[in-house]
Amino acid sequence: MATADPVEAIIGKIRDRGGRATDARRATIRVLLNTGQSHLSAEDIVSQVKLQHPDVAESTIYRNLATLEELGVVEHVHLGHGPSTYHLTEDGHQHLLCERCGKVIEVPEETFAPLAEQLATTYGFRIHPRHFAIMGLCRRCQGQRRAH
């Protein structure tokens, strides 16, 4: 039976793999689903979970993130030199990060399919482009650079 509640749908995946449905897991999933930000550091997630569940150990939240990542529900990405960030994997996308203003632009992963195919064919190398952001300058910062 399918559920309309996205938290319970994810909990169902955890149960299917023999995991338990705990309050800490539900709280971690809610933070990922309900935040206005799409990319949260583990520290951000820990703080938000602990606001509602102060008794939950930080290590438990980190383990929950690891479990969700193993299930393919969450992935982490390195956006520049800061801590890795976590987001739901509902739609596969690559990240472009402006090295001047910090703007993150989400690009559909299909955009990188020709490059991935070329690298596989020419070099026998399979890329995982979603793990790291591609650094550069956004349109606005490029315009600022030209103005100086």
Cα–Cα distance for residue pair 84/41, rounded to 1 Å: 6
Domain span holding position 108: 93-147
Cα–Cα distance for residue pair 13/15, rounded to 1 Å: 5
pLDDT band at 6 (very low <50, low <70, confident <90, very high): confident
User: Among candidates 128, 127, 26, which has minimal Cα distance to 68?
Assistant: 26
**Same-domain check for residues 36 and 102:** no
Q: What CATH number is attached to the domain comprising 137?
A: 3.30.1490.190
In a domain, 67, yes or no: yes
- Residue-wise pLDDT for 68-106, tens only, equals 999 888 888 888 777 888 888 877 788 899 999 989 898
In a domain, 1, yes or no: no
Strands 40-41 and 104-108: unpaired
The model's pTM: 0.77
**Same-domain check for residues 117 and 62:** no
End-to-end Cα separation, the chain, in angstroms: 60
pLDDT at residue number 63? 93
